[in-house]
Amino acid sequence: MAIVLIPPAMRALTGAERVTLAAANVRALLGALETRYPGFADALGPRFAVSIDGEIRSDADYDPLADGSEVAFLPPLAGG
Amino acid sequence: MSTNGSGNGVDRKYKWVGTRPIRHDGVDKVTGKANFGADLSFPDMLWGKMLRSPHAHALIKRIDASKALAIDGVKVVATGADLPDLASAETEGGEGGGNMRDLAHNVMARDKALYHGHAVAAVAALTPELADQALAAIEVEYEVLKPVLSIEEALAPNAPILHRDLRTKGVKDSGPTNVAARIPFVKGDVAKGFSEAEHVVERTYRTQTVHQGYIEPHAVVARTNPDGQSVVWCCTQGAFVVRAYCAAVLGLELSQLKVIPSEIGGGFGGKTTVYTEPIAVLLSRKSGRPVKMVMSREEVFRATGPAGAAKVEVKLGAKRDGTLVAAQARLWYEAGGFPGSPFGAGSMTVFAPYDVPNISIEGFDVVVNKPKTAAYRAPGAPQSAFATEQALDELARELKLDPIELRLKNAAKEGTQAAYGAKFARIGFVETLEAAKKHPHYRAPLGPNQGRGIASGFWFNVGMQSSAEVHLAEDGTATVITGNPDIGGSRASMAICVAEELGIDVTKVRPVVGDTETAGYCDLTGGSRVTFATGLAAIEASRDIAQQLRERAAKIWGSDVAKVEFVDGRCQPAKGSGLDHAPLSVADIAKQMARTGGPINGRAQVNPRGAGPGFATHLCDVQVDPDTGRVDVLRYTAIQDAGRAVHPSYVEGQMQGGASQGIGWALNEEYVFDQNGVLENAGFLDYRMPVASDLPMIDTVVIEVPNPGHPYGVRGVGETPIVAPLAAVANAIHAATGKRMTELPISPPRLLAALQQ
């Protein structure tokens, strides 16, 4: 089960700061979030980064999630 | 598998990593032979130029280019009407993503000019002089609108609206607005935290619009063949991104474009997007001839992307012993004429270095009639750190605590959860603070009107996509090809990684920056990612070679590959293998490539996790002239965790460069606009960046807390060093004068006014 830290702007959808979901990877997790909280994907938008156990990634759709992985959705990050 | 190199490299003895070989491109650069963006010309080439809006905010009612086209030698004119009308939509991706409609409309205005200098038309002519004549002959009818020139003006009731369809992302039913987005971050209960605080500091801080100040203006040559294939030569931080953006703006397929990056005279984030590049392609496609466009310095200031001004409110609550119990921030970042300021990163970095249980952060992206902002080294973080690091200094003074001890008491460590959600892995912030405390600089005596400031800085660092190929030559030398333009010495880093893995001399490795058809895909040179991510690709490509070398040695010895190991640049029988052969060097096997199976090439492509965050602590001594308000930086020490310094000279160079730019941001640099939104200081004489004679030698201390996410422990280093200097300088000025300077730049008139209060 992955632990998802819900961005404050989306807590109205989830009603919680953290939710726990079963998912093998980030893409599956997003699917599960959308199923449980319709509108989650739209609210997140197409551009975001993901922190998995503290490691920040863009393009993380198929990154595997271990049992207990902590996932946070962040604004897209790049740099100069 | 290669046997040399695993884990995070803590116990590994390196031969080349950590050495300082002369950079492979050094001779070309110091002898003037290196080719930069403006160096390429073709015999039948046209000169392209942009007509730019003289108004900061205006409707474009009509453009008539007939008189320009009638001039002998003027070949083509282009306007927004020549470009496809893209739908407004965020596209997926990290650095390659964004709103392509905004990008396209920034490259060439359509129905509205959004800043003074916004391109409205372009010409291509036989000479630059004819192109200038053509620009003067183009008639544009504008309906001038009131410009919005500050965050306050943008937020005011009845403010002129820049984009009729803009709504605040993250706010329901915002209605027409100049606030493009709002993002909150919350941790714990900030109200409860402040109720438990025994001491609170609270102020509002402001920074101004500043430019990266790269020495080389943007330059491009585009040539289009009759079959519709266009080739683009340009100075950029990322050829693949130029290809993607040009294709999007022009409605072309990626395969119709080849982008060849020139050498680059600085970028610092400012060359991560496109301005004239798509227009040069358009003019070339319309004229059938090569078109060259070189920006003037004035155009660079007026029409490329600076770092936007920001307003940051910070409130900190602490116990009497200095333990932080609550932190609150509201941050507004100017985005320029289109959404896209680094308000998210600014919001995420504002308290990231500190372990605070209760945090509330609210960030806003605000459009104004100024050039569309672009990335500038650690985008968003210098502005937010300017606020937090001064607030901490104020807290330390009021609580009579040493400012380093205060930071140590609250420093983020492994396992600390930042307000934005991520938990830090092994980080080296505490080590930078300890090093600062022990540094002789921290205890050195100060004279009259002198003061010392300290500040710390943080940047995430990123990984992203990279590719590398390593080709082994028949004499055992090697070539490493990547697609990242070399800004800060990355050729040397790539060569060191290959030399380390293959056990060959670093001078025997030739690093090459490829183009979009000769190199595998690489994201931008930016985000402090090249030595980390592209270096990782070079390491893995080298390990691919090492594996092939083992296979060749096994073939030569008639044995199983499992009985061969690759150690220190040689294939040798593995312990207990029963083989009895003299080791074969890389050169020994390379000589026999043809007979043992043909060429040996290694290849790797990565999109790695594990880019370790960077932390720095800076010490700054200043002397203030109480009669003029002039500030001289007397001594400066930058201390930073590099994880592992692959080439320490280039790590130190990044630290010194970032510190220099941050000092300029603190003391002198700002865009000065008149009431109509016209930039009044679009040149280096009036936009004052520090030069060598303005600064002391910047001392550097490289801390190495290996990043567990990289085989050598590498962390990105390019951006972190610009985060701390703004507050370090301001804190030093406060120490010298007792004046808390909350607005940048702390120029002589501003400081003198404060001193006279």
The pLDDT value given to residue B91: 64
Residues 597-636 of B with CB under 8 A from A: 607, 609-611
Nearest to B381 by CA among B19, B756, B718: B718
Q: Residue A21: what pLDDT?
A: 95
pLDDT tens per residue across span B237-290: 999 999 999 999 999 999 999 999 999 999 999 999 999 999 999 999 999 999
Q: What is the CA radius of gyration of chain A?
A: 12
The average pLDDT across B552-564 equals 98
Tell me where in chain B the CATH 3.30.365.10 domain(s) lie.
26-34+465-606, 424-461+612-755
Report whether B594 contacts B703 (CB < 8 A). Answer: no
Mean confidence (pLDDT) of chain B: 96
B464-484 pLDDT tens trace: 999 999 999 999 999 999 999
The residues spanned by each domain of chain A are: 2-74
Most confident of A60-69, B92-101, B626-635: B626-635
Q: Which residues of B118-155 are buried (b: 16+ CB within 10 A; e: fewer)?
A: bbbbbbbbbeeebbebbbebbebebeebebbbbbebbb
B2-49 pLDDT, tens digit each: 223 334 556 689 999 999 999 999 999 999 999 999 999 999 999 999
Residue B385: helix, strand or coil by DSSP?
helix
The answer to whether the CB atoms of B609 and A57 lie below 8 A apart is yes
pLDDT tens, position by position, B544-556: 999 999 999 999 9
- Would you tell me which residues 154-183 of chain B have a C-beta closer than 8 angstroms to some C-beta of chain A? 169-170, 182-183
CB contact under 8 A, A52 and B94: no
Q: Is pLDDT above 70 for A9?
A: yes
What is the C-alpha separation between B362 and B350, in angstroms, rounded?
Answer: 11
Instruction: Please state the rounded mean pLDDT for residues B412-423.
Output: 93
User: CATH for B424-461+612-755, among 3.20.20.140, 3.30.365.10, 3.40.50.200, 2.60.40.10?
Assistant: 3.30.365.10
Q: What is the pLDDT of residues B88-146, one digit of tens each?
A: 776 654 444 579 999 999 999 999 999 999 999 999 999 999 999 999 999 999 999 99
Taking an 8 Å cut-off on Cβ atoms, the answer to whether A79 and B212 are in contact is: no
Q: Which two tokens stand for residue B636?
A: 């400066």
Q: Report the relative pairing of strands B291-294 and B257-261 from DSSP bridges.
A: unpaired
- Alpha-carbon distance of B502 to B496, in angstroms, equals 10
**Among all residues of chain A, which has the CA nearest to that of B709?**
A55
Confidence (pLDDT) at B97: 55
Q: Please answer whether residues B722 and B383 qualify as being in contact, where contact means their C-beta atoms are separated by less than 8 angstroms.
A: no
Q: Using an 8 Å Cβ cutoff, are B86 and B104 in contact?
A: yes
Out of A57, A59, A72, the one facing B420 most closely (by C-beta) is A72
Q: What percent of chain B has pLDDT over 90?
A: 95
CB B641 within 8 A of CB B432: yes
In this complex, which of B93, B270, B420 lies closest to A74 when CB atoms are compared?
B420
Q: Would the CA dihedral through B484, B489, B490, B491 be positive or negative?
A: positive
Residue reference for tokens 């930073």: B640
**Count of C-beta atoms within a 10 Å radius of residue B1:** 11
Nearest by CB: B425 against A9, A54, A73: A54
Sign of the C-alpha dihedral, residues B177, B178, B183, B189?
negative
Contact of A15 with chain B, judged by CB distance below 8 Å, is answered with no
Helix (H, G, I), strand (E, B) or coil at B620: strand
Q: What is the pLDDT of residue B87?
A: 83
CA distance B687 to B725: 19
- A28: contact with B, CB 8 A cutoff: no
Question: Given 3-state DSSP classes, what are the helix, strand and coil percentages for chain A, each rounded to the nearest 5?
Answer: 30, 30, 45
Could you tell me if B10 lies within 8 Å of chain A, comparing CB atoms? no
Please write the tens of the pLDDT for every residue from B695-705: 999 999 999 99
Place of tokens 């975001």: A48
A80, B91: Cβ pair inside 8 Å? Answer: no
Q: Does B364 touch chain A (CB under 8 A)?
A: no
Interface pTM (ipTM) of the complex?
A: 0.93
Tens of pLDDT, residue by residue over B165-208, are 999 998 888 899 999 999 999 999 999 999 999 999 999 999 99
Cβ of A46 within 8 Å of Cβ of B97? The answer is: yes
Backbone phi, then psi, for B414, in 5-degree steps? Answer: -55, 125
Q: What is the mean pLDDT of residues B737-745?
A: 98
Helix or strand run (H / E) with residue B312: strand B310-318
Return the residue matching tokens 């043909």.
B598
| Residues B297-336 pLDDT 10s | 999 999 999 999 999 999 999 999 999 999 999 999 999 9
CA distance B689 to B691: 6
Calculate ∠ Cα B311-B317-B322, nearest 5°. Answer: 120
Please report how the helices B277-287 and B100-107 are oriented relative to each other, as an axis angle in degrees rounded to 10. Answer: 70
- Quick check: B454 and B207 in contact, CB under 8 A? no
A78: pLDDT confidence band, cut at 50, 70 and 90?
Answer: confident
Q: Do A74 and B348 touch (CB under 8 A)?
A: yes
State pLDDT tens for residues B355-398: 999 999 999 999 999 999 999 999 999 999 999 999 999 999 99
pTM of the model: 0.96
The tens digit of pLDDT for each residue in B662-715 reads 999 999 999 999 999 999 999 999 999 999 999 999 999 999 999 999 999 999
CA distance A4 to chain B (A): 9
Beta-carbon contacts of B32 under 8 Å, excluding residues fewer than 6 positions away, are none
The predicted pLDDT at position B406 comes to 98
Whether pLDDT at B60 is above 90: yes
Flag if A51 and B90 touch (Cβ within 8 Å).
no
- Closest by Cβ to B526, choosing from A70, A76, A78: A78
Which chain B residues are closer than 8 Å to A9 by Cβ? 170, 182-184
For B97, which residue in chain A has the nearest alpha carbon? Answer: A47
Asked if the model's pLDDT at residue B526 lies above 50, the reply is: yes
Overall CATH class of domain B26-34+465-606: alpha beta
B260 sits in which H/E element? strand B257-261
> What's the DSSP call for residue B386?
H
Residue in B with minimal Cα distance to A58: B94
Q: What are the CA-CA distances from residue B30 to residues B33, B487, B490 (Å)?
A: 8, 15, 17
DSSP 3-state of B547: helix
Q: What is the mean pLDDT of residues A32-60?
A: 89
- CATH assignment of A2-74, given 2.40.30.10, 3.30.1370.160, 3.40.50.300, 3.10.20.30? 3.10.20.30
Burial level of B447, CB count in 10 A (0-12/13-18/19+)? exposed
Which of A13, A14, A56, A69 best tests the B interface by mutation, with the highest count of B CBs <10 A?
A56
Residues in A closer than 8 angstroms to B719, CB to CB, are 79-80
> How many C-beta atoms surround the C-beta of residue B567 within 10 A?
14
Question: If DSSP codes are grouped into helix, strand and coil, which group holds residue B394?
Answer: helix
> Minimal Cα distance from A73: which residue of B?
B421
Instruction: Provide the chain B residues 366-395 that lie in CB contact (below 8 A) with chain A.
Output: 375-379
